[in-house]
Structure 1
């Protein structure tokens, strides 16, 4: 694929992550549930990661640091889901 097509697709993916983040942020504003805030933050981090790796002028295998940002985003999602389940289980026992 040409560089233009890859940049175009990466821009679309970045926009998608950003829009999904805004979608979850809208739910967080309505409900004030930290799960939605965690998802909004994670998708924002994924959007930033996608934009940085698209515009960074390095070879494809040399941006290992980008996986660290993805790891933070996915860890945030996992922690939010686990936290939500633990809180729900604690309320059910009371």
Structure 2
């Protein structure tokens, strides 16, 4: 993949995505603190990991969304949320 072609726009947009992900993570942490529902904690972790993952793209010499470690971080965060959803629904059965 090629290096960042529009560095100002790319850094701004990726920074905006990171900021939105962090705000969402804090939002879910607030609800987790009030309700102590593990599903809120799983979503907070998901958005926190996504923020770290997106900011890691900027540190790569050739930003590549297909990087193995970035993919594994995303996969683990999604599996964590899916596991929390399944755990929450299995408690109702």
Q: CA deviation at 1:64?
A: 2.3
Task: Report the TM-score when normalising by structure 1.
Answer: 0.86
Structure 2: gaps spanning 5 or more residues: none
- Runs of 4 or more, structure 1, over 3 Å off, are none
Q: How many angstroms apart in 2 are the aligned matches of 1:43 and 1:65?
A: 17
| Residue of structure 2 equivalent to 1:30 | 34
1:73 corresponds to which of 65, 74, 77: 77
Answer 1 or 2: higher relative contact order, Cα 8 Å, separation at least 6.
Answer: 2
The structure with the greater share of residues assigned to helix is: 1
Per-residue CA deviations over 1:6-43 (Å, capped at 9, x if unaligned) read 11000000111111000000000000011101111111
Aligned-pair Cα RMSD in Å: 1.5
Task: Report the TM-score when normalising by structure 2.
Answer: 0.87
Q: Which has the larger radius of gyration?
A: 1
Q: How many angstroms apart in 2 are the aligned matches of 1:81 and 1:17?
A: 20
Q: 1:41 to 1:61 in 2, by over 3 A?
A: closer
Q: How many angstroms apart in 1 are the aligned matches of 2:13 and 2:49?
A: 18
